[in-house]
């Protein structure tokens, strides 16, 4: 192993591989490795200039002993930056320390007191480069020893019931309702970003942690040490970016359904809310308001005067957001020019088709700057010039007809090498232009990646079922998204897919989900509400009239008693406006999420690291959502201190688990008494 100091970076070379470790902000290191000349200068998620940090590098020798009692001197090196230190042994194996205590070590074994690389017998190496036949990329696997008792959080959004990800296998790929944001927070006091947008996998097993990128030219990750999760997230968002300040005029209720089919329907709903004395901050015009996918314009048969509609909504103080999909139908007026200019995703084999819902479509390639310019110009002309305020960038994974990633290629390279960054590039079609105006940018997306928080993205949890099981999973998803640096996160209240809006079990779910949403970043009504017995507006097989719509989804659509409860909690949301504004300010300043795991606020409380069915809404409110059907009381753990039950006014000492009442009209919430 050859060690070299290059400025503030430590380089190690062995067997054609170059390893580079350098300071990247306080108490943080960026670690890269490549084979031969395959180094990439891409920063990927590390877009922000890191704070200056001075590393201490030492290159020397270590003595190792063989089983026969003999010994030899071998080269070794270390680099330290504040609280974090990394050592590299003669075989290129790295070990990381926080304040002198080991927190992470590459896959390594000790035999008879002799430190040797595992490959001497098992032939399993710490960094495995497997060349892809016929290409310049590699399949890369990076292995670490597992830490006994470690808990791992973050990593984005996965539809599963686990908050602690230890023992989980996670696909590193974007899908509808799955959002890969490869940043983790460890209970051992460190955070790690897998700074690679390649499709792959991570395994947090009890015997090994294993990261895989299926097609890449370089290993790249960033690791930081911190006193607590809040400090770790602050450091992470300082190098990947933080959310802008959320506008105050969108902190209340967003109204949406599948789907408002006409201009008059949108206006009638807005007028009805105004008559009820309920201020909605934003109304959402969902999909197939257009003529064809990829036309990106209103069907004038049903939307005859979009500007007049928007003007009236603006006079009511309502912002307007429209759905834009990345799919382009072959019949679209934009298909031929975009295909001719290479602005669409390329398939490696078979037909040029990537998406087949309601059309024969190919999706756009936002990695291509010409694509971003083309799509923006069309959307500005057909939406922005009418006064549309924001865009719902749906299907932003993108939603492939078949998730066969090796069959797709982008301007930036094979989809296998960079597809996880697609939703972020899609969002930048709009962010890059809208942010120039100086007005706040708040667009709604179904997917994102590390750093998406800086591009004005509200992420929602996708098309999830309307079940209590799914509801429980969304809580885990939202908490882990927050720990992955995404503070603007929401769900479809009541879930997306409902068979019967009159089912009393569904209506109970809806109320419980709505109560939870009041104590989250964005309060947004949406859902595909069955039964599907509403006839189409016309018999065309295209345009705004032919596709089905769901049942009504306004606050008053579910009976008088449910409306009373939802109206009550609407008022609660409005009463918290100043508090919610302060939470958004905190997210902007230090990266803190609005909904937080219990250990985020109480890291010294061991019990809080085990809880996943309650959370903190900021630092003041402990929220215990009701997550099961016909559950009207539940256990709530109150950390040390004094707490006030907001439903009863009762003051309760902390450090104990209590049994809290939870009638259908109440969600257990406790305010911390400072």
Catalytic residues: 394, 397, 463
CB 545 within 8 A of CB 536: yes
Residue 531, preceding peptide bond in cis (omega within 30° of 0): yes
**What's phi and psi for 205, nearest 5 deg?**
-80, 170
Ramachandran class of 15: left when φ > 0, alpha when ψ lies in -120 to 50, beta otherwise: left
Q: How many Cβ atoms from other residues are within 10 Å of residue 459's Cβ?
A: 29
CA distances from 498 to 21, 462, 642 (A): 51, 14, 41
The closest alpha carbon to 575, from 516, 514, 649, 519, belongs to 519
Handedness of CA 590, 594, 598, 601 (dihedral sign): positive
The closest alpha carbon to 170, from 139, 130, 210, 112, belongs to 210
The closest alpha carbon to 33, from 50, 55, 10, 51, belongs to 10
* Segments of 217-347 assigned E as strands: 219-225, 253-255, 280-285, 319-324, 327-329, 346-347
With a CB cutoff of 8 Å and minimum separation 6, the contacts of 80 are 55, 56, 57, 86
**DSSP run (H or E) holding 312:** helix 306-315
From the number of C-beta atoms within 10 Å of its C-beta (0-12, 13-18, 19+), residue 535 rates as exposed
Separation of alpha carbons 327 and 393, rounded Å: 11
Q: What is the DSSP string of 461-504?
A: --S-BSSHHHHHHHHHHHHHHHHTT---EE--TT-SEES-TT-H
Q: What is the DSSP string of 48-71?
A: SPPPP---EEEEEEEEEE-TTS-E
Separation of alpha carbons 371 and 77, rounded Å: 46
Task: Report, in angstroms and rounded to the nearest whole number, the Rg of the chain calculated over CA atoms.
Answer: 26
Q: Find the angle CA(42)-CA(45)-CA(46) to the nearest 5 degrees.
A: 75
The DSSP secondary-structure symbol of 384 reads G
CB 224 within 8 A of CB 563: no
Tokens of 365: 């390639």
Place of tokens 């009511």: 316
CB 456 within 8 A of CB 212: no
* Segments of 237-297 assigned E as strands: 253-255, 280-285
**DSSP run (H or E) holding 600:** helix 598-601
Residue 259, preceding peptide bond in cis (omega within 30° of 0): yes
């Amino acid at each position: 192993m050859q060690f070299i100091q290059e400025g503030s970076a430590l380089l190690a070379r062995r067997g054609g591989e170059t390893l580079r470790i350098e300071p990247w902000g306080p108490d943080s290191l960026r670690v890269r490795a490549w084979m031969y000349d395959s180094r990439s200068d891409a920063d990927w998620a590390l877009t922000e200039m890191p704070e200056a940090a001075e590393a201490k590098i030492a290159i020397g020798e270590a003595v190792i002993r063989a089983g026969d009692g003999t010994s030899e001197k071998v080269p070794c090196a270390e680099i330290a930056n504040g609280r974090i230190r990394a050592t590299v042994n003669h075989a290129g194996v790295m070990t990381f320390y926080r304040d002198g205590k080991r927190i992470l070590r590459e896959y390594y074994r000790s035999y008879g007191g002799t430190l040797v690389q595992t490959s001497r017998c098992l032939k399993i190496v710490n960094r495995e480069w497997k060349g892809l036949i016929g290409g310049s990329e590699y399949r890369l696997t990076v292995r670490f020893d597992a830490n006994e008792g470690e808990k791992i959080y973050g990593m984005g959004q996965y539809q599963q019931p686990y908050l602690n990800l230890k023992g989980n296998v996670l696909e590193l790929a974007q899908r509808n309702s799955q959002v890969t944001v490869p940043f983790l927070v460890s209970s051992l006091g460190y955070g790690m970003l897998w700074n690679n947008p390649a499709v792959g996998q991570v395994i947090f097993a009890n015997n090994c942690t294993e990261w895989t990128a299926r097609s890449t030219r370089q290993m790249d990750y960033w690791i930081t040490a911190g006193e607590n999760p809040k400090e770790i997230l602050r450091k992470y968002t300082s190098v990947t970016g933080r959310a802008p300040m959320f506008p105050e005029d969108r902190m209340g209720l967003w109204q949406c359904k599948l789907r408002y089919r006409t201009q008059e329907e949108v206006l009638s709903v807005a007028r009805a809310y105004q008559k009820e004395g309920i201020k909605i901050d934003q109304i959402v015009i969902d999909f197939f308001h257009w003529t064809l996918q990829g036309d990106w314009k209103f069907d004038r048969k049903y939307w005859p005067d979009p500007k007049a509609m928007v003007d009236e909504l603006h006079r009511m103080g309502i912002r307007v957001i429209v759905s834009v999909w990345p799919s382009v139908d072959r019949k679209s007026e934009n298909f031929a020019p975009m295909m001719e200019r290479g602005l669409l995703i390329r398939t490696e084999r078979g037909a040029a088709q990537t998406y087949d819902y309601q059309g024969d479509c190919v999706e756009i390639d936002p990695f291509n700057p010409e694509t971003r310019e083309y799509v923006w110009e069309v959307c500005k002309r057909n939406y922005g010039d009418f006064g549309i305020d924001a865009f719902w960038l749906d299907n932003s994974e993108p939603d492939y007809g078949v998730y066969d990633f090796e069959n797709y290629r982008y301007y930036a390279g094979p989809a296998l090498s960079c597809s996880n960054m697609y939703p972020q590039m899609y969002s930048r079609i709009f962010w890059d232009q809208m942010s120039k105006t100086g007005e706040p940018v708040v667009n709604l997306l179904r997917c994102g990646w590390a750093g998406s928080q800086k591009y004005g993205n509200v992420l929602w949890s996708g098309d999830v079922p309307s079940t209590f099981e799914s509801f429980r999973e969304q809580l885990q998803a939202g908490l882990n998204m927050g720990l992955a640096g995404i503070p603007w996160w929401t769900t479809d209240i009541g879930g997306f897919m409902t068979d019967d809006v009159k089912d009393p079990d569904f209506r109970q779910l809806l109320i419980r989900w709505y109560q939870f949403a009041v104590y989250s970043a964005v309060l947004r009504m949406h859902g595909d509400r069955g039964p599907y017995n509403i006839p189409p507006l016309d018999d065309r097989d295209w345009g705004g009239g032919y596709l089905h719509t769901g049942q009504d989804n306004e606050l008053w659509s579910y009976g008088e008693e449910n409306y009373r409860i939802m109206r009550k909690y609407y008022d609660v949301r409005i009463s918290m406006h100043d508090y919610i504004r302060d939470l958004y300010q905190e997210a902007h300043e230090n990266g803190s999420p609005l909904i937080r795991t219990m250990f985020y606020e109480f890291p010294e409380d061991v019990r809080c690291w085990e809880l996943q069915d309650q959370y903190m809404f900021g630092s003041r409110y402990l929220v215990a959502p009701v997550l099961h059907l016909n559950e009207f009381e539940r256990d709530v753990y109150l950390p040390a201190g004094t707490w006030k039950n907001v439903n009863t006014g009762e003051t309760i000492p902390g450090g104990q688990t209590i049994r809290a009442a939870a009638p259908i009209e109440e969600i257990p919430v406790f305010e911390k008494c400072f």
